[in-house]
Amino acid sequence: MCVGLSGAISRIAGGATTRVVTGLWSGARPDRHEAQGPADVLVRGGRYFVLLQDASIDRRGFNALGPDGATAGDLISTPPGRAAPAVIFNFAAFEAARNPDRGAGPGAKLGNPPIDSDPYAFTAYRGGFAVVDAAGNDLLWVKSDGEVSVLAVFPVQRVPLTPAVRRRIGVPASLRSIAVQSVPTCVAVGPDGALYVGELTGVPFARGTARVWRVAPGEPPAVYASGFTNIADLAFAGKNLLVLELAARGLLDRSSRGALVRVAPGGARAVVVDRGLVHPTGLAVGNGSVYVSNYGFSPGTGPGPHGQVVSLPLSAVS
């Protein structure tokens, strides 16, 4: 992996893109693919709160990314301009110490890897932040004083394997099913005040196996909606839940396009966008529009389409 301080936060306004924070950790393969770095951002009181990915920790919660990757796996705050990160929480260290999806508590004996962390998305919640750790398979509440609580641990599920999939992922013909991790990738606060979490799921990324969980204080996590594939993000448009699928036919299908699905409070659903979305990775609702980050797997150099943000009127998904 090539590591540097090329991560940035950009503001898009009036059709112009301006970098408002620079100098954040970022890493990628030499061919610029499989990038990591800033994964999510909130703006509060003139400061930027940024969640920084890290999918390379060891059993002690450390990585080998060097000084430029020192904040990988952290939630930080920084003023605008050149980043001056103040670490709010280190998720890798927490995972090494607590490991919620395997240790004591609601995630006991779920069969997930001993130590694995990759914080991926967060939202403001009850004076602090609700954070999903995609590799840790959990939902955490980081309070304003830095204390952390485990709100939910998401279980594995068994997925049947077809002969074609077995060949594709290189497992023995005798293996009829595989345990698949949740891999939560997104969290949103619903109109009822509960948290809603979407799953990417793991290999083989089987169609229809991704779920949306509802997590409310004092209640066990419950499946709110199911039957999705590779959920990348969630957002509410009024009482309707919008679910963004990264690859509607699964990530093993390289030709698969994404999709935006509307789920009504009663459970009725409809695909509202299924054309033009190529590996969409982010979703936001505001100012009467729905915004989607598109071509999320495409590096910003070379021929072909690059990452972009597209919008459609909110009325188109209502």
3-class DSSP assignment, residue 151: strand
Q: How far apart are CA 23 and CA 25, in angstroms?
A: 7
Cis, peptide link before residue 204, omega less than 30° from 0: yes
pLDDT of residue 302: 66
Residue range of the domain that includes 165:
46-316
Complete DSSP assignment for 160-171: E--HHHHHHHT-
Cβ-in-10-Å burial (0-12, 13-18, 19+) of 192 comes to: exposed
CATH number of the CATH domain containing 171: 2.120.10
Alpha helices in the chain, H assignment, sequence order: 91-98, 163-169
- pLDDT < 70 stretches in the chain: 103-113, 301-303
pLDDT of residue 42: 97
pLDDT of residue 182: 94
- Give domain status of residue 6, yes or no: no
What would the two tokens of residue 302 be?
């070379």
Q: How far apart are CA 278 and CA 203, in angstroms?
A: 20
Q: Which amino acid is at 293?
A: S
- Give domain status of residue 20, yes or no: no
pLDDT of residue 104: 39
- Give domain status of residue 15, yes or no: no
- Give domain status of residue 123, yes or no: yes
pLDDT of residue 107: 41
- Give domain status of residue 157, yes or no: yes
What would the two tokens of residue 248 be?
């509607």
- Give domain status of residue 4, yes or no: no
φ, ψ dihedrals at 215, nearest 5°? -125, 115
Q: Quick one: which of 17, 51, 21 has its CA closest to 36?
A: 51
pLDDT of residue 62: 86
pLDDT of residue 90: 94
Q: How many residues does the chain have?
A: 318
pLDDT of residue 218: 87
State how many domains the chain has: 1
Q: How far is CA 15 from CA 197, 277, 308, in A?
A: 31, 20, 12
